[in-house]
Amino acid sequence: MSFEDKVVIVTGAAVGIGKATAIAFAEKNAKVVVADIDNKKGKQTSSLIGGDAFFIEINVANSESVKNMVKEITNRFERIDILVNNAGIYYQGDVIETPEDEWDKVIAVNLKGMYLCSHYVIPVMLAGNGGVVINVASEAGLVGIAGQAAYNVSKAGVISLTKSMAVDFARKGVRVNAVCPGTTETPLVKDALKSSKDPEKERRKLEECRPLNRLGRPEEIAAAILAMASDNLGYATGSVLSIDGGYTAK
Considering only CA atoms, give the Rg of the chain: 17
- Within 10 angstroms of residue 90's Cβ, the number of other Cβ atoms is 18
91, 120, 151, 247: the catalytic one is 151
| Residue 151 annotated in active site | yes
Which residues, including other chains, have CB under 8 Å from residue 84's CB and lie 6 or more apart? 8, 9, 10, 11, 18, 21, 133, 134, 136, 225, 229
CA torsion, ordered 23, 27, 30, 36, to nearest 10 deg: 10
The 3 state secondary structure assigned to 141-205 is HCCCCCCEHHHHHHHHHHHHHHHHHHHHHHHHCEEEEEEEECCECCHHHHHHHHCCCCHHHHHHH
Give Cα separations from 179 to 4, 14, 81, 161, 233 (angstroms).
Answer: 23, 19, 18, 13, 14
Provide the annotated active-site residues. Answer: 151
